[in-house]
Amino acid sequence: MRLGLGQVCGARCLATSGRQRHDGKAAGEGRDGGSELGVRAAARKRVTGPLRWAWGCASRSAGPPVHRPPCLLGSSWLGLLASAPGALTVVPAGPRARLAMPLGLFRRLLLAALLLVIVWTLFGPSGFGEELLSLSLASLLPAPASPGPPLALPRLLIPNPQACGGPGPPPFLLVLVCTAPEHLSQRRAIRGSWGAIREARGFRVQTLFLLGEPTGQHVPDLASESAAHKDILQAAFQDSYRNLTLKTLSGLNWVRKYCPGARYILKTDDDVYVNVPELVSELIQRGGPSERWQKGRGPQEGTTAAHEEHQGQAVPLLYLGRVHWRVSPTRTPGARHHVSEELWPETWGPFPPYASGTGYVLSASAVHLILKVASRAPHLPLEDVFVGVSARRGGLAPTHCVKLAGATHYPLDRCCYGKFLLTSHRLDPWKMQEAWKLVNRLHGESAEPFCSWPQAFLGVLRCRFIAWLNS
């Protein structure tokens, strides 16, 4: 049989009023099961804890009688629910009754999934928990090594010494893009998208391309390309994946020689989308420019004021990226990431923590530090590992940033690409242009908001969940 909610709650409320009138006698009769309180006790046995909570008429221990008007209101409300189609009912199931809740299981599963995603984001790979862990690395570093002899680097075929010049202050952010001579379409896509940005948040931004000598016969005319765009830096080495360390060191050495005033340097690849405005904002928050700019001066005025405020001041050490932890060298001969035991003996264990080469930021002081000790580090062909090893020798630990994608590919999404991600990896030239159009889409004459309020609330958590679904 089915016992309606209105009947059960009505019986409970009637029993409560009976207890108020005949406290002592009702208690005795309830034990014999021959009074209204007996009905109340029988009803109570048929109702589960969640139902008693929903009614607001939970049983209480013996004590002075208390008048509970909400029970009367609850009885009429639940009586109305009981008369509706699909209403909650108490269904006898053996000695105890069970509550039929059509949405109960779904809600529990939804809550469990949400908790799982939150825990995965905080403590999973590339989560916020790693940001907290990276803060403790500095205390575990050995004493900085003494500076080594000057690096023997290949000469520059296209030095482009004036690329960092021009009127105004030096770049706040200088982007060095590792590319190959034959990747003309990638360079065009970057020049036509985020690489065209020359100012962000009131600060100057500059993008340059690093490359070596071509190996094939049909390659673009790099001299003409450099003359047209003035953004090519070419060094005299064979351009290949195993020479990425030479390429990166050549770029950092160029910064020290021709662009010493740049405050931050981003090293990235030509298949990475960079959210330049948000990256500049991130660097400002991590110890950037003056309050006068932050309080709302105009772009040109703010640039000059911020530069004058920090002229002559040392830039704090910063090595920011998507940190890889306890990565062991690959010993497979012929593999792309092969590292021989001569370069990294087995007794040395895994590599020290290092930032993914898809995109990491070095402050100007960090660039000088790495170049000082790089000649004493093993010449690893993996440039991101080499930079991490050199930084460790100099006493500098990487700082993890969950907004830098690392090797993760994020599907095109306006909220993620425009607001929460600083980089996204594995974009071909067409997707690079599509991402740029998506981020800069207009709604009428004004820019369309990047995120709805639920998207903004979830933030980078939503972006990483989308990437996981599409992986």
Q: Mean of the pLDDT values across residues 424-443? A: 92
d(CA 281, CA 293): 12
What are the pLDDT digits (tens) for 291-307?
A: 334 433 433 444 444 44
Query: Encoding tokens for residue 139?
Result: 């205390």
Q: Is the pLDDT of residue 171 over 90?
A: yes
Beta strand 232-238 with 203-213 is: parallel
Share of the chain above pLDDT 90, in %: 52
Comparing 169-183, 230-244, 291-305, which segment has the lowest mean pLDDT? 291-305
Termini Cα distance of the chain: 51
Letter string b/e over residues 253-290, b meaning 16 or more CB atoms within 10 A of that residue's CB: bbbeebbeebbbbbbbbbbbbbbbbbbbebbbeeebbb
What are the pLDDT digits (tens) for 333-357?
A: 889 999 999 999 999 999 999 999 9
- Residue 461 is predicted with a pLDDT of 87
User: If you count DSSP H runs as helices and E runs as strands, how many of each does the chain have, helices first?
Assistant: 19, 15
CA angle 54, 58, 59 (to 5 degrees): 160
Domains of the chain and any CATH numbers: 5-99 (no CATH), 131-400 (3.90.550)
d(CA 169, CA 161): 16
- Give whole-number Cα distances, 14 to 20, 26, 104, in Å: 10, 12, 30
d(CA 373, CA 391): 8
Higher pLDDT, 163 or 85: 163
Higher pLDDT, 275 or 8: 275
Q: Sorting pLDDT into bands at 50, 70 and 90, what band is 131? A: low
Comparing 81-85, 377-381, 427-431, which segment has the lowest mean pLDDT? 81-85
Higher pLDDT, 47 or 468: 468
DSSP bridge pairs for 267: 176, 360
DSSP bridge pairs for 203: 200
Comparing 195-199, 204-208, 246-250, 407-411, which segment has the lowest mean pLDDT? 407-411
Q: Is the pLDDT of residue 69 over 60?
A: no
Higher pLDDT, 119 or 21: 119
Q: What DSSP character marks residue 171? A: P
Q: Sorting pLDDT into bands at 50, 70 and 90, what band is 24? A: very low
Mean pLDDT for the chain? 77
H or E segment to which residue 113 belongs: helix 104-123
Q: Sorting pLDDT into bands at 50, 70 and 90, what band is 316? A: confident
What are the pLDDT digits (tens) for 84-111?
A: 444 444 444 444 444 444 567 888 888 8
Query: Encoding tokens for residue 443?
Result: 């709604």
- Residue 157 is predicted with a pLDDT of 96
Beta strand 399-400 with 319-324 is: parallel
Q: Sorting pLDDT into bands at 50, 70 and 90, what band is 215? A: confident
Q: Is the pLDDT of residue 6 over 80?
A: no
d(CA 438, CA 186): 18
Q: Mean of the pLDDT values across residues 395-420? A: 93
d(CA 128, CA 122): 5
Residue 167 CB neighbour total at 10 angstroms:
4
- Residue 52: what are its φ and ψ, rounded to 5°? -60, -40
Residue linked to tokens 């930084």: 391
Comparing 104-108, 375-379, 414-418, which segment has the lowest mean pLDDT? 104-108
Greatest mean pLDDT among 42-51, 103-112, 134-143, 237-246 lies in 237-246
- Residue 379: what are its φ and ψ, rounded to 5°? -80, 80
Give the three-state DSSP class for 127: coil
Q: Mean of the pLDDT values across residues 303-323? A: 67
HEC-encoded secondary structure of 241-290: HHHHHHHHHHHHHHHHHHCCCCCEEEEEECCCEECHHHHHHHHHHCCCCC
- Give whole-number Cα distances, 359 to 103, 177, 323, 336, 402, in Å: 45, 9, 10, 19, 12
Q: Is the pLDDT of residue 447 over 50?
A: yes
Instruction: Tally the C-alpha atoms within 13 A of residue 303's C-alpha that lie toward its C-beta.
Output: 18
